[in-house]
Structure 1
Amino acid sequence: MTTCPVEPMLSMALFVSDVSASGDQDDATIRETVDRTLEQLGPDECYARAAEVFGDRPEVALGRIQWARERCARAMAPALAGASA
């Protein structure tokens, strides 16, 4: 499994968003989705919804969280590189 150098909350927000893991979203779309989801739901609700999915549908949740972590790591890499410069 790939490690995610970004804040876990960002991955969790993407996990609970309405974006399809089968789609081919660009990095800007992923960043916008994460921002919008956190603004609409807040961190606590993101974690609560994720916990519900893991409890109700663990077979789906595992693949989706792996996807969300990988996509967040890739989408946030330019922002992280700029922050350390």
Structure 2
Amino acid sequence: MSGEEIQSLRAEALFVSDLQRSDPLSPDDVRRTVSENVRRYGLRGLAARVAEEYGDHPETAVGRMCWCLCAVEEAYAA
């Protein structure tokens, strides 16, 4: 799996979480949530949940994914 694929997977794991961009989040919070959701849903399960959310909430999904990509990049930068 390439670095970009790993970052995408992490963003998907954050996307399906209950965390919101308005929440005060530390990098540890993001990493912990990503780990929990990867274990909980697996690769295919994450993709299915993301697709479901895009179908249910297309008006907010793109903005949320952009936030997730940025949050993951910051949390795993070190």
Whether these two folds match at TM > 0.5 is yes
Large movers: runs of 4+ above 4 Å: none
Deviation at 1:56, TM superposition (A): 1.6
Give % identity: 34
The worse-fitting range, judged by mean Cα deviation, of 68-77 and 54-63 is 54-63
Is the Cα–Cα contact under 8 Å of residues 13 and 43 in structure 1 kept in the other structure?
A: no
Structure 1's unaligned 5+ residue stretches are 79-85
Let me know the Cα RMSD of the aligned residues.
1.5
Count of residues in correspondence between the two structures = 75
Is the Cα–Cα contact under 8 Å of residues 7 and 72 in structure 2 kept in the other structure?
A: no
Write the distance in 1 (CA, Å) between the matches of 2:7 and 2:62.
18
**Aligned match of 2:68:** 68
Bigger CA radius of gyration: 1
Write the distance in 2 (CA, Å) between the matches of 1:7 and 1:66.
12
